[in-house]
């Protein structure tokens, strides 16, 4: 990838002609999140947000995992030394990250290989499109540790899978394989791990062929919070805005020329 810029060690960020890429970069610990990764990820998202190209953003993990929850060694040190102010500050930023991902005007793709546990599960659920390797697996993790759930999962899970299934996941805290996660609606596309790189390239190629993805994302995200009448007005406004744009005019001409 080109146009790379340096970021703190726990996160790398790059951009090419297809997309932005943010990579969680602590593979020795399966990209488990700590304070350093939290603040680095937040900074990376802010950097991408300043770009007006509307390219999609791919969130991915280095090595064999997406994110295996929190770094429990770091967590243990905070708790045993009663550094709860630090924990609170990190958690506040981490929760804000979920909001930033969901609210981005561009499409966010979670590319999940291996573990997506705890906050990693939440980060994937906050994305718009989840592409998962057949070797991916998902788990809450917090209930088994005696913690309540974070990462926005109490909001996203009921909306993605329904209240009953979400509650089952909470009560059993079981591990979901990639197949089961797809059946439940948590995974958009399941791919062969051996074809991982080409599958991601194919997906980004598909995204490049459609326009207004960010606008459509916003419409879908907002639809659960407004009435049908309000949603129809929003659709009308966005439709007319797109119709005035150069992209629509060019693609309309191309379409009609092919039919001629």
Rg of the chain's alpha carbons, rounded to an integer?
19
Q: What is the CB-side half-sphere exposure of residue 36 using CA atoms within 13 A?
A: 13
- The pLDDT assigned to 258 comes to 86
Structure tokens at 114: 């291996």
DSSP 66: S
Quote the CA–CA distance of 257 and 260 in Å, as a whole number. 5
Instruction: Quickly state the pLDDT bin for 44 (edges 50, 70, 90).
Output: very high
What pLDDT, in 10s, does the model give residues 63-117?
999 999 999 999 999 999 999 999 999 999 999 999 999 999 899 999 999 999 9
Quote the CA–CA distance of 229 and 115 in Å, as a whole number. 41
Does the pTM of the predicted model rise above 0.85? yes
- The pLDDT assigned to 147 comes to 93
- The pLDDT assigned to 7 comes to 46
Share of the chain above pLDDT 70, in %: 96
CB 152 within 8 A of CB 95: yes
What pLDDT, in 10s, does the model give residues 142-188?
999 999 999 999 999 999 999 999 999 999 999 999 999 999 999 99
Quote the CA–CA distance of 10 and 37 in Å, as a whole number. 5
DSSP 6: -
Instruction: Quickly state the pLDDT bin for 53 (edges 50, 70, 90).
Output: confident
Quote the CA–CA distance of 157 and 163 in Å, as a whole number. 8
Mean pLDDT across the chain: 92
Stretch among 11-15, 144-148, 162-166, 206-210 having the lowest mean pLDDT: 206-210
Reply yes or no on whether the pLDDT at 6 is more than 70. no
Where b means 16+ CB within 10 Å and e means fewer, 71-94 reads bbebbeebeeeeeeeebeebbeeb
- Domains, the chain, in order of start with CATH, read 11-208 (3.90.226.10), 213-259 (no CATH)
Structure tokens at 2: 């080109």
Instruction: Quickly state the pLDDT bin for 3 (edges 50, 70, 90).
Output: very low
């Amino acid at each position: 990838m080109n146009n790379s810029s340096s970021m703190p060690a726990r996160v790398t960020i790059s951009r090419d002609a297809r997309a932005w890429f943010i990579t969680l970069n602590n593979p020795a610990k399966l990209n488990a999140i700590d304070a350093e990764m939290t603040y680095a990820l937040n900074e990376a998202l802010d950097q991408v947000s300043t770009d007006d190209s509307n390219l999609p953003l791919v969130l991915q993990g280095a090595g064999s995992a997406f994110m295996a929850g929190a770094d429990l060694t770091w967590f243990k040190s905070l708790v045993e030394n009663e550094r709860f102010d630090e924990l609170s500050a990190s958690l506040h930023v981490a929760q804000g990250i979920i909001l930033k991902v969901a609210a981005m005007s561009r499409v966010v793709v979670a590319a999940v290989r291996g573990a997506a546990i705890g906050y990693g599960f939440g980060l994937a659920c906050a994305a718009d499109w989840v592409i998962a390797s057949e070797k991916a697996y998902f788990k809450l993790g917090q209930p088994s540790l005696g913690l309540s759930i974070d990462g926005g999962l109490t909001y996203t899970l009921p909306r993605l899978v329904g209240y009953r299934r979400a509650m089952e996941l909470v009560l059993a805290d079981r591990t979901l394989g990639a197949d089961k996660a797809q059946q439940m609606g948590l995974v958009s596309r399941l791919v062969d791990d051996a074809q991982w790189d080409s599958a991601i390239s194919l997906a980004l190629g598909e995204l490049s062929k459609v326009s207004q993805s960010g606008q459509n994302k916003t419409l879908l995200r907002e639809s659960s919070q407004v009435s049908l009448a309000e949603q129809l007005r929003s659709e009308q406004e966005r439709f007319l805005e797109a119709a005035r744009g150069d992209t629509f005019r060019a693609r309309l001409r191309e379409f009609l020329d092919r039919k001629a």
